[in-house]
Structure 1
Amino acid sequence: MSYRHQLSCGIRVVGEEIPFLRSVAIGIWVGTGSRFETRQNNGVSHFLEHMFFKGTQRYSAKALAEVFDGLGGQVNAFTSKEYTCFYSRVLDEHFSVAVDTLADMIQNSTFAAEEIDKERRVVIEEIRMYEDTPDELVMDMLAQGVYGEHPLGYTILGEEENLRNFSRNDLVDYIAEHYRPEDIVISVAGNVSRERAIEVLEQTFHPSNSGSTRTGAIVSPKFSTSVSVRSKDIEQVHVALASPGLPAGHEDMFALILLNNALGNNPSSRLFQEIREERGMAYSVFSYHSSYRDCGMFGIYAGTSPENVEEVLRLIGECVESFAVDGMTEHELEKGKEQLKGSMMLGLESTSSRMSRLGKNELLLGRMIPIEETLQAIERVTVSDILRVAKTVLKHPFAVSAVGPIEESMIVSGMQWAPVS
């Protein structure tokens, strides 16, 4: 049974009782990420994610880790462009302890100077690790090329210079502005009753920054069809392409998901079969879609040898053009629907997946979406819907980024099918 509730402090709670399990997943979803930063504080959302684990008034950093280890549970966090999530999965009998500890982290972290200094070094090493990971780097370059100085173009990790300058006051001020009750959703899924969940959450969450306001409003970005290339002495060339996608909650979202699955998101997809299975020109090749509150990005990635780059780009172009002109067959559509429904339903056997679904839908869309509604939306998609979306998404000129031993002229040559500026 699913439920929705608002705590007396203003935080929204969404949950699902699953009495036949022995575990429970808890997520604290905060509506802030790199999109809500400035160039001067880019990276602060992610740095805060780290710092919430570095000690509270009750626990040291080591003691926090020992609490969850002692419960036999899992705890972690991640930061994205538009939200930050702190989550835990424990046995149902440890629900109250896990919630109490997470609440203590969010509300009572001390941000001790020595911990800030240590953790800034850790995150700087994380930034450098990504610089040495070309398939990650090329995605950051793509976002920067597409969105430019708009915050969606910022990296989630931020810049080294910013990390070196963050102070305790910077962290406290950011929390006051972006960790407001109205920006927080707590999702719970597993073997805990609604009554018990709300009772424990009411006892533990008491945000102190109620009534604060955010500065500025969300501004939609412009999509730039740029070309960005970084020469790097590595074995492969990593290439990423992008065109405008759809925002979260768009009525054509399931048509786009089905399009994505058929084009490049599974082993039977056209890109995978054509480039990897038939030609052997890549180990990793796929398409994907990223949705934000007011826009989206449809992307394609491939990693290949320098001598194959132009041919791989040409083959990507052929697959894209074919899809944009002819769409997909009824057989492909029905197969895609079964794959999508199967993937979704299998994922719902995990308390963590259910918790994530509840939290993201409430945070980004402002409502709980019943499984039945999702299944019906998938079934309603037709081949004409797919073709209409393909003509919108795949006919747009693509932006492109590349990392490896390559020159920009080779990328431009291989992209003749998709004019770029």
Structure 2
Amino acid sequence: MKDKSFAQEACASVILSTNLRCTGMGLIMVKVNVLKNGIKVVTEELSYLRTVSFGVWIRVGSAKENKENNGISHMIEHMLFKGTKSKSAKEIADIIASIGDDVNAFTSKEQTCYYGTTITESLPILVELVADMLCNSLLSEEDLRKEKRVIYEEIDMYEDSADDMVHEILQQNVFKDHPLGYIISGYKKNVRSFKRRQLIDFMEKHYVAENIVISVAGNFSENELMNQLERCFGGIRGTNPKALNSLTLLKKKKEELLLAPYEEKYQQKQDEIPSYHTCFCHRHKDNEQLHINLAYPSIPLGSDESVVFAVVNSMLGGSNNSRLFQRIREELSLVYSIYTYGSSFEKAGLFHLDITVNPQQAFRVLRETKLVMDEFLATPITIEELDTHKAQVKTEFILGSESAKSRMNSNAKSVLVRGYVKTLDEVIEELNRLSAEDINRFANKVWGDSSASLCVIGAESGVSFRALKKEYQNLFLKSTNTKA
């Protein structure tokens, strides 16, 4: 912890939490501070590196949108690279290239992130650049018109990918009208309608201090960093800005009055805990193979069961030595690709099973898959199998924490969801305590007690979707839920 003079000089930042973890390189400290305006800053100094990763995470994505503005978070992410009051888009690109060409951004359903990794001496340039993009972007109508065409191409690219679309369509149907079901890019109709004023209004509502976490990991000077963050990001307001001038205030009040029922409706949707809707959905696409995705309701982000989820996922289908991979691909040679994974959000989660298969083998693959899943619940887990997958997950956790970028990402997500950082040692301790009973209990909760939803994309000439739906209902629906 720095001395009192530093706290006064930098920003009188408040240290919310400090975590220590031991590594082969010595003791590593993770701190969570708060700037004067409320922005949380999580830092992890890795002095043995010569690089540093920096990210600004904003709690906004497609799940904070409505049907009319779906895609606007993604549109804003693109537009912030198009020029600021002091830099053209080309100058931004030149600066990015000069510090290593590893600066980018992404939009997810619940977060937007602007991030980069560079050498230690270039961190001030990276910080200033991202701050300028967030605070001073022009968002010009001409740039907006041009960038819409880029996003049309991106939408086409994703729609051409059955792997991506089977996941998206399933989530749309599982979450129904809840914003978690919206696609991140939005549809072309929405993108085409966006105006500059809409982007500005959306940013003013969501790009506020309370929604922002800045994460830094690597080799850097904490004193210099905190001073620069206060200078560059201290002007970002909270949700209760000082009074506007009377004319602007009256105009905004009038707009708020007119939009109130509409806004309240969608705000209520966003704040609801998403319901899981069992469904069967399909889309015709002229592919040689069928793309099938099943999903069960699962855990949200930050759940205390995240570690047991990781082991169950590894055992069932998340690795080459998993039961599904060994049975369906290695023993029966029915597929090239079969794997499980999770999608976790702040208030909901899904456990997915993804299969790519020849249409003629689809029915057998679904039956064999269900057999493997039933055997998982019915057959005692051996100590040898459990220890193998615990060791595998432990290795993945450690390997995933070795780079500055991975630490920056992990720390940011932890603070966004929990408000503090869980150390790697704490996670490994949880992993070591897991028993076969814990695994079986979690598996029963996920697919033993719930009905699956299924989405399939492929050519209708290769398979009867009606027959496939009937097979799905027989295999994956519980007797109490037969409406999918």
Do they superpose with TM above 0.5?
Answer: yes
AA matched with 2:471: G
Question: The residue matched to 1:417 in structure 2 has which SS?
Answer: helix
State the secondary structure of the residue aligned to 1:394. Answer: helix
Residue in 1 that maps onto 2:476: 418
Q: Point out where structure 1 has 5 or more consecutive residues left out of the alignment.
A: none
- Aligned position for 1:61: 89
Matching residue of 1:179: 207
RMSD: 1.5
By relative contact order (CA 8 Å, sep 6+), the higher-ranking structure is 1
Is residue 229–residue 407 contact of structure 1 (8 Å, CA) maintained in 2? no
3-state secondary structure, aligned to 2:343: strand
**AA partner of residue 410 (structure 1):** A
1:404 aligns with 2:432: no
Residue 3 of structure 1 is matched in structure 2 by 31
- The one-letter code matched in structure 1 to 2:349 is G
Of residues 357, 364, 381 in structure 1, which corresponds to 2:417? Answer: 364
- In structure 1, the partner of 2:62 is 34
| Equivalent in the alignment of 1:155 | 183
Bigger radius of gyration, 1 or 2? 2
Q: Structure 1 residue 327: deviation in Å?
A: 5.8
Q: CA deviation at 1:319?
A: 1.5
For 1:35-56, what per-residue CA distance to the aligned partner results, in whole angstroms no more than 9, with x for missing partners? 1110111111111111111111
1: CA distance, partners of 2:415 / 2:236: 22
Q: Deviations over 1:6-51 (max 9, x none)?
A: 0112110001001111000001110011111101111111111111
Aligned residue in 2 for 1:13 = 41
Provide the rounded CA distance (Å) in 2 between the counterparts of 1:192 and 1:414: 57
Report the more deviating stretch, 404-413 or 365-374.
Answer: 404-413
Structure 1 residue 208, shift from structure 2 partner: 4.0
SS at match of 1:114: helix
User: Matches of residues 113-192 of structure 1 in structure 2 within 5 Å?
Assistant: 113-192=141-220
Q: CA deviation at 1:179?
A: 1.0
Superposition misfits of 4+ residues, deviation over 6 angstroms: none
1:413 is displaced (CA, Å) by 4.0
Identity among equivalent positions (%) equals 37
Distance 2:155 2:380 in 1: 40
Is it true that 1:233 corresponds to 2:286 in the alignment? Answer: yes
How far apart are 1:328 and its partner, in Å? Answer: 3.0
Say whether 1:309 aligns with 2:362: yes
Contact residue 289 and residue 296 of structure 1 kept, 8 A: yes
Q: Which residue of 1 aligns with 2:390?
A: 337
1:75 is aligned to 103
Cα distance per residue 1:117-162 (max 9 Å; x no partner): 1111111111111111111110111101111111111111111110
Deviation at 1:280, TM superposition (A): 2.0
1:203 is aligned to 231
Q: Which moved more, 1:312-321 or 1:23-32?
A: 312-321
Q: Which residue of 1 aligns with 2:332?
A: 279
TM-score normalised to structure 1 length? 0.97
CA contact (8 A) 1:271 1:286 kept: yes
TM-score normalized with structure 2 length: 0.85
Where does the alignment leave 5 or more consecutive residues of structure 2 unmatched?
1-28, 242-262
CA shift for structure 1 position 210: 2.0
SS in structure 1 of the partner of residue 475 of structure 2: coil
Instruction: Write the letter of the residue equivalent to 2:441.
Output: R
The aligned amino acid for 1:13 is V
User: What is the SS of the residue equivalent to 1:5?
Assistant: strand
Provide the rounded CA distance (Å) in 2 between the counterparts of 1:174 and 1:236: 41
What SS is found at the alignment partner of 2:364? helix
Residue of structure 2 aligned with 1:101, choices 129, 135, 146 = 129
Equivalent residue number for residue 90 of structure 1: 118
One-letter identity of the residue aligned with 1:370: T
2-structure distance, mates of 1:32, 1:144 = 18
- In structure 2, the residue matched to 1:263 is 316
Structure-2 residue corresponding to 1:47: 75
- After TM superposition, give the deviation of residue 194 of structure 1 in Å: 2.1
**Matching residue within 330, 334, 344 for 1:291:** 344
2:309 counterpart of 1:252: no
* Aligned positions, number: 421
Q: Which residue pairs with 2:51 in the alignment?
A: 23
Note the C-alpha offset of 1:212: 4.4
Partner letter of residue 325 of structure 2?
A: F
